[in-house]
Structure 1
């Protein structure tokens, strides 16, 4: 039951772009996890740039840096 939770800024997506993104991510998850399409869920959460450090970097990225399979090329 893979769940993908994407947090990003400053990009706004229309519904068609969100659907295309979710479909592309779902295809990759199905291929790599050998999952069914019905078991995949994808969330897209916009985070204001001024809130990125407190809401994402400080709570999800920095504390888990050693566990990340793809580390960011920036630091705060």
Structure 2
């Protein structure tokens, strides 16, 4: 607790860029929730563009809109 799952179109993330993302997310989450970095988990999940609507947009954005704190503009 807490867990972050980032879904994105496949892109080659340089190892340093990925580590920076993980470090900055971990810092933001531990600050917001007042928890130890040891309890934060982060997943990076590439999703093919042709599967985005069915796999991400409909089930996680449309159907769970009440949970969104930032809504996409597409």
Shared fold (TM-score greater than 0.5)? yes
Structure 1 residue matching 2:63: 3-state secondary structure: helix
**Superposed structure 1 runs of 4+ greater than 2 Å apart:** none
Distance 1:12 1:46 in 2: 10
Distance 1:11 1:33 in 2: 30
TM normalised by structure 2 equals 0.90
Residue 49 of structure 1 corresponds to: 49
**Structure 2: 5+ residue runs without aligned partners?**
none
Structure 2 residue matching 1:12: 3-state secondary structure: coil
**Structure 1: 5+ residue runs without aligned partners?**
none
Residue 68 of structure 1 corresponds to: 68
Residue 22 of structure 1 corresponds to: 22
Distance 2:14 2:46 in 1: 12
Q: What is the total number of aligned residue pairs between the two structures?
A: 74
RMSD, matched Cα: 1.1
Distance 2:63 2:43 in 1: 22
